[in-house]
């Protein structure tokens, strides 16, 4: 692509002439194929009742996978840190209940084996995008990795992080744009949607967009979800909570189940308009 050149030292993540886009298979779904994959669920797993209620609601609305944090890297040590292994068990039960694969974060190299024994996709959070021991460890994992962009990472730094996982032998890497830090105070981050078509030029890896963390406000989530699909995203990851006002984390950006139903209705015609399906 004339004018968009990435470092030649990014080898495995780079798209080369005539190369097919990578499709990452997760259960019955494929991220990077014709269908736009929707991952939805609470920021944190708080209880069995909470996760089951949200997981059933998002399944009913047409989500393809469940998200939920069991290990939570929080800005302050006083905030809720997650239910850890108990949370992983609840996620696995929610998968049994709904049939939907589970995406959940791993924060420490020593926990990768444990998280992998319960989860279908290992998420590397924005704050750990440059945690190289963790990237090396998930490079040896059997499960696909959803790699979030760090708060202030350039595209090349992000692809460099993906390169660690690919170089470790794990070919199933999904990139996730989740907003970067700019100067505005009214949104939590600035959702960089230009990253989506840019990545399509320079990498073969699939790209998912997180409009929940990318904006921080539930009113902005559905419009930016539509925009992400219009820009060519292969998937969405959306926070949904049954009682957002009582959420232990990220309530302000979490959709209620009814809001998620209308998000799903709103993205279908956009996907169709760009030659995709939900």
Stretch that binds Mn ion, among 55-63, 71-79, 172-180, 245-253 (CB under 5 A): 245-253
Stretch that binds Mn ion, among 35-43, 56-64, 159-167, 270-278 (CB under 5 A): 35-43
Answer yes or no whether residue 240 interacts with Mn ion by CB under 5 A.
Answer: no
Stretch that binds Mn ion, among 49-57, 85-93, 137-145, 243-251 (CB under 5 A): 243-251
CB of 58 to Mn ion, least distance (A): 15
Residue nearest to Mn ion (CB): 43
CB of 239 to Mn ion, least distance (A): 6
CB of 254 to Mn ion, least distance (A): 8
C-alpha–C-alpha distance, residues 28 and 25, integer Å: 7
Stretch that binds Mn ion, among 93-101, 115-123, 166-174, 246-254 (CB under 5 A): 246-254
Give the nearer residue to Mn ion in terms of CB position, either 45 or 175.
45
Scanning residues 71 to 90, which ones bind Mn ion (CB under 5 A)?
Answer: none
The CA–CA distances, whole Å, from 33 to 30, 59, 141 equal 6, 20, 23
User: How far from each other are the two terminal CA atoms of the chain, in whole angstroms?
Assistant: 29
Stretch that binds Mn ion, among 7-15, 23-31, 39-47, 144-152 (CB under 5 A): 39-47
Burial of 154 (C-beta count, 10 Å sphere; 0-12/13-18/19+): exposed
Scanning residues 249 to 268, which ones bind Mn ion (CB under 5 A)?
Answer: 250
Q: Which of 13, 43, 88, 135 binds Mn ion (CB under 5 A)?
A: 43
CB of 249 to Mn ion, least distance (A): 6
207: left (phi over 0), alpha (psi -120 to 50) or beta: beta
CB of 250 to Mn ion, least distance (A): 4
CB of 256 to Mn ion, least distance (A): 16
Please, what's the largest Cα pairwise distance for the chain? 53
Q: Which residues bind Mn ion (CB under 5 A)?
A: 43, 250
């Amino acid at each position: 692509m004339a004018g968009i050149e990435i470092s030649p030292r990014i080898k495995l993540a780079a798209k080369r002439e005539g190369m097919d886009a990578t499709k990452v298979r997760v259960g019955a779904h494929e991220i990077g194929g014709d269908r736009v994959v929707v991952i939805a669920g609470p920021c944190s797993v708080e209880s069995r009742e909470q996760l089951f209620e949200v997981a059933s609601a998002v399944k009913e609305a047409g989500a393809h996978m469940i998200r939920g944090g069991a290990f939570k890297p929080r800005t302050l040590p006083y905030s809720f840190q997650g239910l850890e292994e108990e949370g992983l068990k609840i996620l696995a039960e929610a998968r049994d209940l709904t049939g939907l694969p589970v995406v959940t974060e791993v924060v420490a190299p020593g926990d990768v084996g444990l998280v992998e024994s319960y989860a279908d996709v290992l998420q590397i959070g924005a704050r750990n995008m440059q945690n190289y021991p963790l990237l090396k460890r998930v490079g040896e994992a059997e499960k696909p990795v959803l790699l979030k962009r760090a708060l202030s990472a350039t595209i090349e730094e992000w692809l460099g992080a993906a390169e660690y996982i690919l170089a470790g032998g794990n070919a199933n890497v999904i990139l996730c744009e989740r907003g970067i830090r700019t100067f505005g105070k009214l949104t939590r981050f600035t959702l960089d949607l230009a990253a989506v078509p840019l990545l399509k030029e320079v990498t073969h890896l699939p790209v998912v967009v997180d409009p929940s963390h990318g904006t921080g406000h539930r009113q902005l989530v559905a419009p930016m979800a539509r925009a992400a699909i219009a820009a060519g995203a292969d998937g969405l990851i959306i926070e949904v909570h049954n009682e957002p006002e009582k959420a232990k984390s990220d309530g302000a950006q979490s959709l209620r189940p009814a809001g998620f139903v209308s998000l799903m209705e709103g993205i279908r015609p956009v996907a169709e308009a760009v030659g995709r399906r939900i």
